[in-house]
Amino acid sequence: MYQPLNLTIGVTVFAVGKYTCFIRPFLESAEKFFMRGYQVHYYLFTHNPAAVPRVLLGPGRLLSIIPIQGHSQWEEISMRRMETINKHIANRAHQEVDYLFCLDVDMVFHNPWGPETLGDLVAAIHPGYFAVSRQQFPYERRQLSAAFVADNEGDFYYGGAVFGGRVARVYEFTRGCHMGILADKANGIMAAWQEESHLNRHFIWHKPSKVLSPEYLWDDRKPQPPSLKLIRFSTVEKDNSWLRS
Amino acid sequence: MVYAQPKVLTPSRNDVLVLTPWLAPIIWEGTFNIDILNEQFRLQNTTVGLTVFAIKKYVVFLKLFLESAEQRFMVGHKVTYYVFTDRPADVPQVPLGAGRKLVVLTVRNYTRWQDVSMHRMEMISRFSEQRFLHEVDYLVCADVDMKFSDHVGVEILSALFGTLHPGFYSSSREAFTYERRLKSQAYIPRDEGDFYYAGGFFGGSVVEVHRLTKACHQAMVEDKANGIEAVWHDESHLNKYLLYHKPTKVLSPEYVWDQKLLGWPSIMKKLRYVAVPKNHQAIRN
Protein backbone atom coordinates (compact mmCIF):
# COMPACT_ATOMS: atom_id res chain seq x y z
CA MET A 1 0.00 0.00 0.00
CA TYR A 2 2.80 2.43 0.84
CA GLN A 3 5.31 1.55 -1.85
CA PRO A 4 3.46 3.19 -4.77
CA LEU A 5 3.42 6.48 -2.87
CA ASN A 6 7.18 6.94 -3.42
CA LEU A 7 7.71 8.11 0.14
CA THR A 8 10.87 9.38 1.74
CA ILE A 9 11.38 8.55 5.40
CA GLY A 10 13.66 10.81 7.44
CA VAL A 11 15.51 9.75 10.58
CA THR A 12 17.03 12.18 13.06
CA VAL A 13 19.76 10.85 15.30
CA PHE A 14 22.08 12.69 17.69
CA ALA A 15 25.66 11.63 18.37
CA VAL A 16 27.36 14.12 20.66
CA GLY A 17 30.50 13.60 22.74
CA LYS A 18 31.43 9.97 23.17
CA TYR A 19 28.13 8.85 21.59
CA THR A 20 29.78 8.99 18.18
CA CYS A 21 30.92 5.43 18.88
CA PHE A 22 27.34 4.25 18.32
CA ILE A 23 27.00 5.66 14.82
CA ARG A 24 28.44 2.72 12.90
CA PRO A 25 26.35 -0.06 14.51
CA PHE A 26 23.23 2.12 14.29
CA LEU A 27 23.67 2.92 10.60
CA GLU A 28 24.85 -0.52 9.54
CA SER A 29 21.90 -2.21 11.24
CA ALA A 30 19.51 0.43 9.86
CA GLU A 31 20.78 -0.33 6.38
CA LYS A 32 19.83 -3.96 6.90
CA PHE A 33 16.48 -3.52 8.64
CA PHE A 34 15.02 0.02 8.53
CA MET A 35 12.46 0.74 5.78
CA ARG A 36 14.01 -1.56 3.20
CA GLY A 37 12.91 -0.60 -0.28
CA TYR A 38 12.04 2.97 0.66
CA GLN A 39 13.94 6.21 0.22
CA VAL A 40 15.58 7.06 3.52
CA HIS A 41 17.38 10.22 4.61
CA TYR A 42 19.42 10.04 7.82
CA TYR A 43 20.02 13.37 9.54
CA LEU A 44 22.98 12.88 11.87
CA PHE A 45 23.46 15.72 14.34
CA THR A 46 26.94 15.81 15.85
CA HIS A 47 29.45 18.26 17.34
CA ASN A 48 32.26 16.33 15.61
CA PRO A 49 31.63 15.60 11.92
CA ALA A 50 35.16 14.24 11.61
CA ALA A 51 34.28 11.42 13.98
CA VAL A 52 31.51 10.11 11.74
CA PRO A 53 32.57 6.79 10.19
CA ARG A 54 32.03 6.05 6.49
CA VAL A 55 29.14 3.65 6.26
CA LEU A 56 28.08 2.26 2.91
CA LEU A 57 24.44 3.10 2.17
CA GLY A 58 22.11 1.32 -0.22
CA PRO A 59 20.50 3.01 -3.28
CA GLY A 60 17.96 5.73 -2.50
CA ARG A 61 19.44 6.23 0.95
CA LEU A 62 21.27 9.39 2.02
CA LEU A 63 23.15 10.63 5.05
CA SER A 64 23.39 14.30 5.96
CA ILE A 65 25.75 15.32 8.76
CA ILE A 66 24.57 18.42 10.61
CA PRO A 67 27.00 20.08 13.03
CA ILE A 68 25.59 21.19 16.37
CA GLN A 69 27.02 22.56 19.55
CA GLY A 70 28.21 20.14 22.16
CA HIS A 71 27.43 20.71 25.82
CA SER A 72 29.11 19.70 29.01
CA GLN A 73 25.91 18.37 30.60
CA TRP A 74 24.37 15.28 28.97
CA GLU A 75 20.89 16.29 30.16
CA GLU A 76 21.21 19.54 28.28
CA ILE A 77 22.22 17.76 25.09
CA SER A 78 19.26 15.43 25.45
CA MET A 79 16.74 18.21 25.99
CA ARG A 80 17.96 20.45 23.18
CA ARG A 81 17.04 17.70 20.74
CA MET A 82 13.40 18.82 20.60
CA GLU A 83 14.37 22.34 19.60
CA THR A 84 16.98 21.13 17.13
CA ILE A 85 14.60 18.71 15.43
CA ASN A 86 11.92 21.38 15.27
CA LYS A 87 14.23 23.95 13.66
CA HIS A 88 15.64 21.36 11.28
CA ILE A 89 12.16 20.47 10.03
CA ALA A 90 11.44 24.12 9.36
CA ASN A 91 14.76 24.64 7.59
CA ARG A 92 15.05 21.46 5.60
CA ALA A 93 13.24 18.28 6.46
CA HIS A 94 9.76 19.48 5.53
CA GLN A 95 10.91 19.68 1.92
CA GLU A 96 12.89 16.48 1.87
CA VAL A 97 10.86 13.82 3.67
CA ASP A 98 7.24 12.75 4.11
CA TYR A 99 7.63 10.99 7.44
CA LEU A 100 10.22 11.57 10.13
CA PHE A 101 11.41 9.29 12.93
CA CYS A 102 13.46 10.61 15.82
CA LEU A 103 15.58 7.82 17.25
CA ASP A 104 18.24 7.45 19.90
CA VAL A 105 21.65 6.53 18.51
CA ASP A 106 22.77 4.08 21.20
CA MET A 107 20.53 1.40 19.71
CA VAL A 108 20.68 -1.29 17.06
CA PHE A 109 18.11 -2.80 14.68
CA HIS A 110 17.77 -6.59 14.92
CA ASN A 111 14.70 -7.20 12.75
CA PRO A 112 12.65 -5.41 10.10
CA TRP A 113 11.19 -2.01 10.84
CA GLY A 114 8.85 -1.21 7.96
CA PRO A 115 5.81 0.74 6.75
CA GLU A 116 3.67 -0.83 9.49
CA THR A 117 5.21 1.88 11.67
CA LEU A 118 4.08 4.80 9.52
CA GLY A 119 1.34 7.02 10.85
CA ASP A 120 0.39 10.63 11.41
CA LEU A 121 1.87 10.70 14.93
CA VAL A 122 3.74 7.67 16.26
CA ALA A 123 4.92 6.78 19.77
CA ALA A 124 6.53 3.64 21.20
CA ILE A 125 5.76 1.94 24.51
CA HIS A 126 8.69 1.99 26.91
CA PRO A 127 9.94 -1.56 27.55
CA GLY A 128 10.18 -1.04 31.28
CA TYR A 129 6.57 -0.05 31.90
CA PHE A 130 4.15 -1.91 29.66
CA ALA A 131 2.99 -4.24 32.41
CA VAL A 132 2.62 -1.82 35.33
CA SER A 133 -0.14 0.47 36.46
CA ARG A 134 -0.05 4.16 35.63
CA GLN A 135 0.67 5.24 39.21
CA GLN A 136 4.07 3.61 38.80
CA PHE A 137 4.91 5.33 35.52
CA PRO A 138 7.91 7.65 36.07
CA TYR A 139 5.98 10.71 34.95
CA GLU A 140 7.07 14.08 36.29
CA ARG A 141 4.98 14.40 39.49
CA ARG A 142 5.81 17.94 40.57
CA GLN A 143 2.98 20.28 39.68
CA LEU A 144 5.39 23.13 39.02
CA SER A 145 6.70 21.38 35.93
CA ALA A 146 5.08 21.72 32.50
CA ALA A 147 5.49 17.95 32.20
CA PHE A 148 3.37 17.22 35.29
CA VAL A 149 1.00 14.25 35.04
CA ALA A 150 -1.45 13.40 37.86
CA ASP A 151 -1.83 9.93 39.40
CA ASN A 152 -5.11 9.17 37.65
CA GLU A 153 -3.96 10.22 34.18
CA GLY A 154 -1.96 8.52 31.47
CA ASP A 155 -2.49 5.81 28.85
CA PHE A 156 0.98 4.30 28.36
CA TYR A 157 4.51 5.26 29.33
CA TYR A 158 6.21 6.06 26.04
CA GLY A 159 9.95 5.88 25.47
CA GLY A 160 11.78 9.04 24.48
CA ALA A 161 14.09 7.03 22.23
CA VAL A 162 11.47 6.58 19.48
CA PHE A 163 8.84 8.92 18.14
CA GLY A 164 7.80 10.15 14.72
CA GLY A 165 5.08 10.67 12.17
CA ARG A 166 4.19 12.96 9.31
CA VAL A 167 6.70 15.76 9.18
CA ALA A 168 4.15 18.50 9.98
CA ARG A 169 2.90 16.61 13.05
CA VAL A 170 6.43 16.02 14.33
CA TYR A 171 7.05 19.73 13.89
CA GLU A 172 4.07 20.63 16.10
CA PHE A 173 4.93 17.94 18.61
CA THR A 174 8.58 18.93 19.07
CA ARG A 175 7.55 22.55 19.35
CA GLY A 176 5.09 21.71 22.11
CA CYS A 177 7.67 19.72 24.03
CA HIS A 178 10.29 22.41 23.60
CA MET A 179 7.90 25.07 24.93
CA GLY A 180 7.38 22.94 28.01
CA ILE A 181 11.13 22.53 28.46
CA LEU A 182 11.61 26.29 28.22
CA ALA A 183 8.83 26.96 30.70
CA ASP A 184 10.50 24.60 33.16
CA LYS A 185 13.84 26.29 32.65
CA ALA A 186 12.27 29.62 33.48
CA ASN A 187 10.93 28.07 36.70
CA GLY A 188 14.27 26.52 37.61
CA ILE A 189 13.08 22.93 37.31
CA MET A 190 14.18 20.01 35.15
CA ALA A 191 11.75 17.16 34.57
CA ALA A 192 12.54 13.75 36.04
CA TRP A 193 13.37 12.13 32.70
CA GLN A 194 14.23 15.23 30.71
CA GLU A 195 12.49 15.41 27.33
CA GLU A 196 10.94 11.97 27.83
CA SER A 197 8.80 13.48 30.61
CA HIS A 198 7.63 16.27 28.32
CA LEU A 199 7.01 13.78 25.50
CA ASN A 200 4.84 11.71 27.80
CA ARG A 201 2.78 14.65 28.98
CA HIS A 202 2.33 15.79 25.42
CA PHE A 203 1.15 12.38 24.20
CA ILE A 204 -1.66 12.35 26.76
CA TRP A 205 -3.16 15.52 25.36
CA HIS A 206 -2.27 14.87 21.71
CA LYS A 207 -2.74 11.14 21.44
CA PRO A 208 -0.57 9.29 18.93
CA SER A 209 -2.39 7.84 15.94
CA LYS A 210 -0.21 4.75 16.09
CA VAL A 211 1.58 3.12 19.01
CA LEU A 212 4.53 0.79 18.51
CA SER A 213 4.83 -2.20 20.82
CA PRO A 214 8.02 -2.79 22.86
CA GLU A 215 9.29 -4.85 19.87
CA TYR A 216 10.26 -1.44 18.50
CA LEU A 217 12.01 -0.20 21.61
CA TRP A 218 13.55 -2.91 23.71
CA ASP A 219 16.15 -3.06 26.42
CA ASP A 220 18.45 -6.03 25.95
CA ARG A 221 19.15 -6.17 29.65
CA LYS A 222 15.57 -7.38 30.15
CA PRO A 223 14.63 -11.04 29.66
CA GLN A 224 12.41 -11.49 26.60
CA PRO A 225 8.82 -12.24 27.73
CA PRO A 226 6.59 -14.67 25.73
CA SER A 227 4.39 -11.80 24.59
CA LEU A 228 7.35 -10.38 22.67
CA LYS A 229 7.64 -12.42 19.49
CA LEU A 230 10.39 -10.38 17.89
CA ILE A 231 12.84 -7.70 18.96
CA ARG A 232 13.37 -5.13 16.25
CA PHE A 233 15.22 -2.24 17.86
CA SER A 234 17.05 -2.34 21.19
CA THR A 235 19.67 -0.75 23.36
CA VAL A 236 23.35 -1.37 22.99
CA GLU A 237 25.35 -2.52 26.01
CA LYS A 238 26.99 0.56 27.39
CA ASP A 239 28.67 2.16 30.35
CA ASN A 240 26.64 5.27 31.14
CA SER A 241 29.07 6.76 33.60
CA TRP A 242 31.90 6.69 31.05
CA LEU A 243 29.73 7.95 28.22
CA ARG A 244 28.31 10.86 30.14
CA SER A 245 31.61 12.04 31.59
CA MET B 1 -10.46 13.41 31.68
CA VAL B 2 -10.31 10.46 34.01
CA TYR B 3 -10.71 6.96 32.60
CA ALA B 4 -9.37 3.46 33.22
CA GLN B 5 -5.84 2.74 32.10
CA PRO B 6 -5.54 0.68 28.90
CA LYS B 7 -3.99 -2.70 29.64
CA VAL B 8 -1.17 -3.66 27.30
CA LEU B 9 -1.37 -7.39 28.07
CA THR B 10 -5.17 -7.71 28.03
CA PRO B 11 -6.85 -7.70 24.61
CA SER B 12 -10.13 -5.78 24.47
CA ARG B 13 -11.92 -8.71 22.84
CA ASN B 14 -10.66 -12.29 22.69
CA ASP B 15 -13.53 -13.64 20.58
CA VAL B 16 -13.18 -11.49 17.45
CA LEU B 17 -10.58 -9.89 15.20
CA VAL B 18 -10.12 -6.23 16.13
CA LEU B 19 -7.48 -5.28 13.58
CA THR B 20 -7.23 -6.08 9.87
CA PRO B 21 -3.91 -7.28 8.42
CA TRP B 22 -3.38 -3.77 7.06
CA LEU B 23 -3.77 -2.36 10.58
CA ALA B 24 -7.23 -0.87 10.22
CA PRO B 25 -9.27 -1.16 13.44
CA ILE B 26 -12.38 -3.37 13.31
CA ILE B 27 -14.95 -1.61 15.48
CA TRP B 28 -16.70 -3.79 18.06
CA GLU B 29 -18.20 -2.84 21.41
CA GLY B 30 -15.40 -2.93 23.96
CA THR B 31 -12.66 -1.81 21.61
CA PHE B 32 -13.14 1.93 22.12
CA ASN B 33 -13.70 4.59 24.77
CA ILE B 34 -16.35 6.92 23.34
CA ASP B 35 -15.50 9.77 25.73
CA ILE B 36 -11.93 10.02 24.46
CA LEU B 37 -13.12 9.87 20.85
CA ASN B 38 -15.92 12.40 21.34
CA GLU B 39 -13.44 14.84 22.79
CA GLN B 40 -11.07 14.41 19.86
CA PHE B 41 -13.79 14.92 17.26
CA ARG B 42 -15.46 17.82 19.08
CA LEU B 43 -12.08 19.58 19.20
CA GLN B 44 -12.12 19.47 15.40
CA ASN B 45 -15.73 20.74 15.33
CA THR B 46 -16.53 17.75 13.14
CA THR B 47 -19.63 17.81 10.92
CA VAL B 48 -21.02 14.51 9.67
CA GLY B 49 -23.25 14.16 6.61
CA LEU B 50 -25.66 11.22 6.43
CA THR B 51 -26.98 10.39 2.95
CA VAL B 52 -30.14 8.39 2.60
CA PHE B 53 -32.30 7.61 -0.44
CA ALA B 54 -36.08 7.50 -0.15
CA ILE B 55 -37.34 6.85 -3.67
CA LYS B 56 -41.01 6.12 -4.46
CA LYS B 57 -42.58 4.02 -1.71
CA TYR B 58 -39.37 4.04 0.37
CA VAL B 59 -40.38 7.44 1.75
CA VAL B 60 -42.40 5.49 4.27
CA PHE B 61 -39.17 4.49 6.05
CA LEU B 62 -37.97 8.04 6.62
CA LYS B 63 -39.80 8.87 9.82
CA LEU B 64 -38.42 5.97 11.86
CA PHE B 65 -34.98 6.30 10.25
CA LEU B 66 -34.71 10.00 11.14
CA GLU B 67 -36.29 9.76 14.58
CA SER B 68 -33.95 6.93 15.58
CA ALA B 69 -30.98 8.82 14.11
CA GLU B 70 -31.89 11.79 16.27
CA GLN B 71 -31.61 9.55 19.34
CA ARG B 72 -28.53 7.56 18.44
CA PHE B 73 -26.51 8.84 15.49
CA MET B 74 -23.56 11.17 16.26
CA VAL B 75 -25.32 12.73 19.24
CA GLY B 76 -23.48 15.82 20.41
CA HIS B 77 -21.90 16.48 17.03
CA LYS B 78 -23.00 18.52 14.03
CA VAL B 79 -25.06 16.47 11.60
CA THR B 80 -26.58 17.20 8.20
CA TYR B 81 -29.05 14.69 6.81
CA TYR B 82 -29.10 14.61 3.01
CA VAL B 83 -32.39 13.03 2.00
CA PHE B 84 -32.46 12.15 -1.69
CA THR B 85 -36.04 11.69 -2.83
CA ASP B 86 -38.34 11.95 -5.83
CA ARG B 87 -41.18 12.92 -3.44
CA PRO B 88 -40.05 15.96 -1.46
CA ALA B 89 -43.58 16.63 -0.20
CA ASP B 90 -43.59 13.24 1.53
CA VAL B 91 -40.48 13.91 3.63
CA PRO B 92 -41.76 13.87 7.23
CA GLN B 93 -41.23 16.79 9.57
CA VAL B 94 -39.01 15.33 12.27
CA PRO B 95 -37.90 17.64 15.09
CA LEU B 96 -34.12 17.91 15.08
CA GLY B 97 -31.73 18.56 17.96
CA ALA B 98 -29.31 21.48 18.13
CA GLY B 99 -26.59 21.59 15.49
CA ARG B 100 -28.49 19.18 13.27
CA LYS B 101 -30.20 19.98 9.98
CA LEU B 102 -31.95 18.27 7.10
CA VAL B 103 -31.51 19.00 3.40
CA VAL B 104 -33.92 17.54 0.84
CA LEU B 105 -32.37 16.79 -2.53
CA THR B 106 -34.91 16.12 -5.26
CA VAL B 107 -33.74 13.52 -7.75
CA ARG B 108 -35.26 11.33 -10.46
CA ASN B 109 -36.44 7.82 -9.81
CA TYR B 110 -35.87 4.65 -11.80
CA THR B 111 -38.36 1.94 -12.66
CA ARG B 112 -36.25 -1.01 -11.58
CA TRP B 113 -35.27 -1.19 -7.89
CA GLN B 114 -31.81 -2.39 -8.95
CA ASP B 115 -31.35 0.85 -10.86
CA VAL B 116 -32.59 2.93 -7.94
CA SER B 117 -29.99 1.20 -5.76
CA MET B 118 -27.14 1.53 -8.23
CA HIS B 119 -27.73 5.13 -9.12
CA ARG B 120 -27.13 6.11 -5.52
CA MET B 121 -23.44 5.89 -6.35
CA GLU B 122 -23.81 8.35 -9.18
CA MET B 123 -25.87 10.78 -7.14
CA ILE B 124 -23.60 10.73 -4.09
CA SER B 125 -20.61 11.22 -6.37
CA ARG B 126 -22.15 14.23 -8.10
CA PHE B 127 -23.31 15.93 -4.94
CA SER B 128 -20.00 15.26 -3.16
CA GLU B 129 -18.19 17.51 -5.54
CA GLN B 130 -20.86 20.17 -5.79
CA ARG B 131 -21.95 20.42 -2.22
CA PHE B 132 -20.81 17.97 0.42
CA LEU B 133 -17.15 18.97 0.15
CA HIS B 134 -17.98 22.44 1.47
CA GLU B 135 -20.54 21.44 4.06
CA VAL B 136 -19.35 18.37 5.96
CA ASP B 137 -16.15 16.63 6.99
CA TYR B 138 -17.33 13.05 6.77
CA LEU B 139 -20.08 11.28 4.83
CA VAL B 140 -22.01 8.23 5.98
CA CYS B 141 -24.03 6.54 3.23
CA ALA B 142 -26.86 4.48 4.64
CA ASP B 143 -29.85 2.44 3.52
CA VAL B 144 -33.22 3.94 4.52
CA ASP B 145 -35.14 0.77 5.36
CA MET B 146 -33.32 0.51 8.70
CA LYS B 147 -33.36 2.09 12.14
CA PHE B 148 -30.73 3.04 14.67
CA SER B 149 -31.29 0.78 17.69
CA ASP B 150 -28.10 1.63 19.62
CA HIS B 151 -25.22 4.10 19.61
CA VAL B 152 -23.56 4.87 16.27
CA GLY B 153 -20.96 7.57 16.80
CA VAL B 154 -17.60 9.05 15.92
CA GLU B 155 -15.87 5.72 16.50
CA ILE B 156 -16.81 4.90 12.89
CA LEU B 157 -15.20 7.98 11.35
CA SER B 158 -12.00 7.72 9.35
CA ALA B 159 -10.81 8.32 5.79
CA LEU B 160 -12.65 5.31 4.37
CA PHE B 161 -14.81 2.71 6.12
CA GLY B 162 -16.85 -0.33 5.13
CA THR B 163 -19.07 -2.57 7.24
CA LEU B 164 -18.93 -6.36 7.54
CA HIS B 165 -22.07 -7.80 5.98
CA PRO B 166 -24.01 -9.66 8.71
CA GLY B 167 -24.62 -12.67 6.49
CA PHE B 168 -20.97 -13.39 5.71
CA TYR B 169 -18.75 -12.46 8.66
CA SER B 170 -18.05 -16.10 9.42
CA SER B 171 -17.93 -17.38 5.83
CA SER B 172 -14.83 -18.21 3.85
CA ARG B 173 -14.06 -16.02 0.88
CA GLU B 174 -15.07 -18.64 -1.69
CA ALA B 175 -18.62 -18.34 -0.34
CA PHE B 176 -18.72 -14.52 -0.53
CA THR B 177 -21.27 -13.44 -3.12
CA TYR B 178 -18.75 -11.40 -5.08
CA GLU B 179 -19.38 -10.97 -8.79
CA ARG B 180 -17.70 -14.05 -10.34
CA ARG B 181 -18.08 -13.35 -14.05
CA LEU B 182 -14.88 -12.07 -15.65
CA LYS B 183 -16.83 -9.85 -17.99
CA SER B 184 -17.95 -7.56 -15.13
CA GLN B 185 -15.84 -4.74 -13.72
CA ALA B 186 -16.80 -6.03 -10.27
CA TYR B 187 -15.20 -9.44 -10.86
CA ILE B 188 -13.21 -10.89 -7.94
CA PRO B 189 -11.52 -14.31 -8.29
CA ARG B 190 -12.21 -17.06 -5.74
CA ASP B 191 -8.81 -16.84 -4.06
CA GLU B 192 -9.05 -13.12 -3.37
CA GLY B 193 -10.99 -10.96 -0.95
CA ASP B 194 -10.63 -9.79 2.65
CA PHE B 195 -14.24 -9.41 3.77
CA TYR B 196 -17.71 -9.17 2.29
CA TYR B 197 -18.80 -5.59 2.89
CA ALA B 198 -22.44 -4.49 3.14
CA GLY B 199 -23.70 -2.05 0.51
CA GLY B 200 -25.99 -0.38 3.01
CA PHE B 201 -23.47 1.34 5.29
CA PHE B 202 -20.18 2.82 4.15
CA GLY B 203 -18.48 6.19 4.29
CA GLY B 204 -15.41 8.24 5.03
CA SER B 205 -14.05 11.68 4.30
CA VAL B 206 -15.87 13.52 1.52
CA VAL B 207 -12.85 13.17 -0.75
CA GLU B 208 -12.62 9.40 -0.27
CA VAL B 209 -16.37 8.83 -0.60
CA HIS B 210 -16.31 10.87 -3.79
CA ARG B 211 -13.51 8.69 -5.15
CA LEU B 212 -15.32 5.49 -4.21
CA THR B 213 -18.75 6.47 -5.55
CA LYS B 214 -17.27 7.87 -8.75
CA ALA B 215 -15.29 4.67 -9.36
CA CYS B 216 -18.28 2.45 -8.64
CA HIS B 217 -20.53 4.52 -10.90
CA GLN B 218 -18.00 4.41 -13.76
CA ALA B 219 -17.63 0.65 -13.31
CA MET B 220 -21.41 0.24 -13.51
CA VAL B 221 -21.58 2.36 -16.67
CA GLU B 222 -18.88 0.17 -18.20
CA ASP B 223 -20.79 -2.98 -17.24
CA LYS B 224 -23.98 -1.63 -18.79
CA ALA B 225 -22.12 -0.92 -22.02
CA ASN B 226 -20.93 -4.53 -21.95
CA GLY B 227 -24.42 -5.85 -21.36
CA ILE B 228 -23.84 -7.14 -17.84
CA GLU B 229 -25.20 -6.23 -14.41
CA ALA B 230 -23.28 -7.32 -11.31
CA VAL B 231 -25.01 -9.95 -9.18
CA TRP B 232 -25.48 -7.67 -6.17
CA HIS B 233 -25.45 -4.39 -8.04
CA ASP B 234 -23.78 -1.50 -6.22
CA GLU B 235 -22.75 -3.84 -3.40
CA SER B 236 -20.66 -5.93 -5.83
CA HIS B 237 -18.87 -2.85 -7.05
CA LEU B 238 -18.35 -1.57 -3.50
CA ASN B 239 -16.67 -4.85 -2.63
CA LYS B 240 -14.37 -4.67 -5.62
CA TYR B 241 -13.38 -1.12 -4.73
CA LEU B 242 -12.65 -1.87 -1.08
CA LEU B 243 -10.53 -4.87 -2.01
CA TYR B 244 -8.12 -2.71 -3.95
CA HIS B 245 -8.52 0.48 -1.88
CA LYS B 246 -8.46 -0.86 1.63
CA PRO B 247 -10.66 0.89 4.17
CA THR B 248 -8.95 2.62 7.10
CA LYS B 249 -11.63 1.33 9.50
CA VAL B 250 -13.96 -1.67 9.24
CA LEU B 251 -17.22 -1.73 11.18
CA SER B 252 -18.38 -5.00 12.74
CA PRO B 253 -21.83 -6.41 11.88
CA GLU B 254 -23.11 -4.53 14.97
CA TYR B 255 -23.42 -1.69 12.46
CA VAL B 256 -25.64 -3.52 9.94
CA TRP B 257 -27.86 -6.28 11.28
CA ASP B 258 -31.11 -8.08 10.62
CA GLN B 259 -32.50 -9.50 13.84
CA LYS B 260 -35.34 -11.38 12.20
CA LEU B 261 -32.99 -13.31 9.92
CA LEU B 262 -30.01 -13.66 12.23
CA GLY B 263 -31.28 -13.45 15.82
CA TRP B 264 -28.92 -12.05 18.49
CA PRO B 265 -25.74 -14.16 18.79
CA SER B 266 -23.53 -13.69 21.86
CA ILE B 267 -20.65 -12.07 19.97
CA MET B 268 -22.91 -9.15 19.16
CA LYS B 269 -22.83 -7.05 22.32
CA LYS B 270 -24.92 -4.34 20.66
CA LEU B 271 -27.22 -4.19 17.63
CA ARG B 272 -26.80 -0.64 16.45
CA TYR B 273 -28.40 -0.30 13.01
CA VAL B 274 -30.98 -2.92 12.10
CA ALA B 275 -33.35 -3.84 9.31
CA VAL B 276 -36.93 -2.71 9.58
CA PRO B 277 -39.44 -5.33 8.47
CA LYS B 278 -40.60 -4.74 4.93
CA ASN B 279 -42.70 -6.45 2.31
CA HIS B 280 -40.25 -6.74 -0.60
CA GLN B 281 -42.97 -7.35 -3.18
CA ALA B 282 -45.07 -4.37 -2.18
CA ILE B 283 -42.28 -1.91 -1.74
CA ARG B 284 -40.16 -2.69 -4.77
CA ASN B 285 -43.18 -2.42 -6.99
A31 part of the active site: no
Q: CA of A125 to nearest chain B CA: how many angstroms apart? A: 9
Q: Which CATH architecture has domain B26-284?
A: Alpha-Beta Complex (3.90)
Which residue from B6, B9, B22 is facing A227, i.e. has the nearest CB? B9
Domain extents for chain B? Answer: 26-284
Q: A15 forms bridges with which residues in the sheet?
A: A46
How does residue B33 score in pLDDT terms, banded at 50, 70 and 90?
very high
DSSP A37-79: TSEEEEEEEES-GGGPPP----TTEEEEEEE----S-HHHHHH
State the Cα–Cα distance between residues B276 and B132, nearest whole angstrom. 28
Q: CA of B8 to nearest chain A CA: how many angstroms apart? A: 6
Region A80-106: mean pLDDT is 95
Best mutation target among B2, B3, B5, B41 (most A Cβ atoms within 10 Å) is B5
User: What was the ipTM of the complex prediction?
Assistant: 0.89
Share of chain A above pLDDT 70, in %: 100
Strands A233-235 and B249-251: unpaired
Q: A207 forms bridges with which residues in the sheet?
A: none
How does residue B45 score in pLDDT terms, banded at 50, 70 and 90?
very high
- Among A140, A195, A196, A215, the active-site one is A196
| Confidence at residue B35, expressed as pLDDT on a 0 to 100 scale | 97
Contacts of B22 in chain A (CB under 8 A): 1
Region A199-204: mean pLDDT is 98
| Confidence at residue B281, expressed as pLDDT on a 0 to 100 scale | 76
Which residue from B5, B23, B40 is facing A154, i.e. has the nearest CB? B5
Q: CA of A12 to nearest chain B CA: how many angstroms apart? A: 25
Q: Is B145 annotated as a binding residue?
A: yes
Has residue B23 got a pLDDT over 80? Answer: yes
Q: Is A202 annotated as a binding residue?
A: no
How does residue B153 score in pLDDT terms, banded at 50, 70 and 90?
very high
Interface of B with A (CB under 8 A): 2, 5-6, 8-9, 22-23, 36, 40, 246
Best mutation target among B8, B22, B32, B44 (most A Cβ atoms within 10 Å) is B8
Best mutation target among B7, B12, B20, B23 (most A Cβ atoms within 10 Å) is B23
Has residue B285 got a pLDDT over 70? Answer: no
| pTM above threshold 0.90 | yes
Q: Is B26 annotated as a binding residue?
A: no
| Confidence at residue A95, expressed as pLDDT on a 0 to 100 scale | 94
| Confidence at residue B267, expressed as pLDDT on a 0 to 100 scale | 97
How does residue B65 score in pLDDT terms, banded at 50, 70 and 90?
very high
| Confidence at residue A238, expressed as pLDDT on a 0 to 100 scale | 76
Count of CB atoms situated within 10 Å of the CB of B47: 18
B8–A125 CB contact, under 8 Å: yes
Share of chain A above pLDDT 90, in %: 87
Has residue A76 got a pLDDT over 90? Answer: no
| Confidence at residue A90, expressed as pLDDT on a 0 to 100 scale | 93
B23–A134 CB contact, under 8 Å: no
The per-residue pLDDT for range A182-200, each reduced to its tens digit, is 999 999 999 999 999 999 9
B36–A125 CB contact, under 8 Å: no
State the Cα–Cα distance between residues A48 and A84, nearest whole angstrom. 16
Q: Is A14 annotated as a binding residue?
A: yes
